[in-house]
Amino acid sequence: MHGNIIFVDYRASRKVQKGAALARENHVDMILAIGGGSVMDCCKAVSLAARYEGDIWPDYWERLGHIDVEPLPLGVIVTVVGTGSKCNGGAVITNEEKKVKTGRDYLVLNPRFALMDPTYTYSVPKGQMVSGSFDILSHIMETDFSEPNEDNVSDNIMEALMKSVIRNLRAAIQNPVDYTARSNLMWDATMAENHIIKMRKKCGFECHNMEHQLGAYTFSCPFHENLLDKVQWNTL
């Protein structure tokens, strides 16, 4: 088995093609994604592109397709909490040329395993940690606000999860090495995207879809990370 490292700074289709080419050239038999949502999403697409003879963008991301090939096995090691990509087959990919950012969820792209050690998130900058936690809240809220509107167990679970995110985010801001807080945030992110709370919910994710259209134009803006670092997060 050959080992290659691909540095992924965003979910770009050209990164996917580069990774797929490396996997084919080196006869890779497994992919290990180490990082956050962008890394996981990109590696899911790479696992498919490495085994697919055509172009995965028009066939599987530009439109919903049916995957009839077996992707490369994928494992993940989580170092950034937020997306919950470790527990589903979802992947958001940006086509830089067309300025289009699209997310698809294919069951066959689910990781075979996910290692979630909260201590791996200790070194994440405060701004990134807060941003990831708000991403968790966004996933839960967009599911909670979707139809149907009658009382159901999923809504009750989501209320508890949102309270957990807020409580543990405040604790992690005060003490970045609070193992319990970091662990709970990791589980909150998992519960938000492992499809349990989405049972009987339509899950339109309109806010995420609007962001994707804006993100297709701003994914490479240099000010983004600097802005996160300048915000006074201790006011939360």
CATH number at residue 200: 1.20.1090.10
Total domains in the chain come to 2
Vertex 56 angle, CA 52 and 59, to 5°: 110
For residue range 65-85, list pLDDT tens digits in order: 999 999 999 999 999 999 889
pLDDT at residue number 233: 43
Q: Tokens 């945030």 identify what position?
A: 185
Q: How confident is the model at residue 213 (pLDDT cuts 50, 70, 90)?
A: low
Closest CA to 199 of 164, 148, 163: 148
Q: Report residue 133 as tokens.
A: 């936690």
Mean pLDDT confidence for 27-35: 93
Q: Give the domain CATH number at 36.
A: 3.40.50.1970
Which of 135-139, 140-144, 145-149 shows the lowest per-residue confidence on average (mean pLDDT)?
Answer: 145-149
Do 163 and 110 share a structural domain? no
Provide the pLDDT confidence category of residue 15 given band limits of 50, 70 and 90: confident
Is residue 198 one of the residues assigned to a domain? Answer: yes
Q: Give the domain range for residue 30.
A: 13-115
Assigned domain for 96 exists? yes
187-212: buried (b, 16+ CB within 10 Å) or exposed (e) per residue? bbbbbbbebebbeebebebeebeeeb
pLDDT tens by residue, 95-132: 888 888 888 999 999 999 999 999 999 999 998 999 89
> How many percent of the chain have pLDDT more than 90?
56
Residue after which a domain boundary falls, among 93, 115, 137: 115
